[in-house]
Amino acid sequence: MVQLGAEGVQNETDIAGGSDRPEPGRYVVAIHEVKECEPGQHSDKIIIEFRVLGGTVPGQNGRTFSEFFFLSEKALPRLQRLALAIGLLKPGEPPRDITFVHSVDSQLIVEVEHDTYTKDGVEKKSCGLSYMGMWSLNNPEVADVMQAASADVAQQAQAQQNQAAQQPVQQPVQQQPVQQPVQQQPVQQQSPVQPQPGQPGYVDPAYQAGHVNPAYQQPVQQQPVQQQQQTQMPLNQAQQNQVQQPSSQDYGSL
């Protein structure tokens, strides 16, 4: 599917192609594309597409058109002039093989003209180079074209600047800082609170190891020791006398 329109067209004969072709005039152009046809393809020729950079007619910058250069002996002088204009061939150089594919982006000055012809009873227009309308950039015969092209290019650049100035200035988008992922700290398990000595539930570590620490033993309440009273038996009279009076044996040594 393709979208088409026909605004400003009265009938099909108004469409002859080449709407992007430049108006008649002299231009500084660049070689945009080169296609060399092989022998046996209808006729031997080289097809070159030119792109306009500026010239005597303002507003043609960027337009393109193609030109056929035939390789017949009669048409070779035209191709010879093109080679001299773009520097592929130097004055006084002997014949040699030249490849025009290497001439892409080469610049020269050309003269564009429109031609009218009739085909199948219908009048048509064509756009192309005049037969020998090709010059090098430093040729004094076309110095005015270089000046016009420079002014045209400067005018186009000024127009683009004015157009850009009328465009609303877009505020630069402020980039949000990239947030680094938060590293979660591992949850530390809280140790249960151990009771301190003297608090309920405290167990002495020495006790847990199989030994009792005397410092944490419960004091043993000692019962008061009852003094046993000695039972004294009553003495008889003879024993009393023996205790009270010493015997004669006790004083015999006196």
Alpha-carbon gap, residue 243 to 233, rounded angstroms: 15
Segment among 57-61, 98-102, 113-117 with least mean pLDDT: 113-117
Question: Given this model, what pLDDT does residue 55 score?
Answer: 94
**Range of lowest pLDDT (4-13, 55-64, 68-77, 144-153):** 4-13
- Quick: pLDDT tens for 10-56: 666 555 544 578 999 999 999 999 998 766 555 689 999 999 999 99
* Per-residue pLDDT reduced to its tens digit, 155-202: 766 776 777 777 665 666 677 777 777 677 776 666 666 777 777 777
Tokens 């031997």, residue located: 44
The domain locations on the chain are: 18-159
DSSP string, 48-100: EEEEEEEESSTT-TT-EEEEEEE-STTTHHHHHHHHHHHTSS-TTPPP----G
> What's the whole-model pTM score?
0.55
Task: Tell me the longest C-alpha to C-alpha distance in the chain.
Answer: 197
| DSSP-derived secondary structure for 17-55 | S-TTPPPSEEEEEEEEEEEEPPTTSSS-EEEEEEEEEEE
Distance CA 55, CA 150 (A): 8
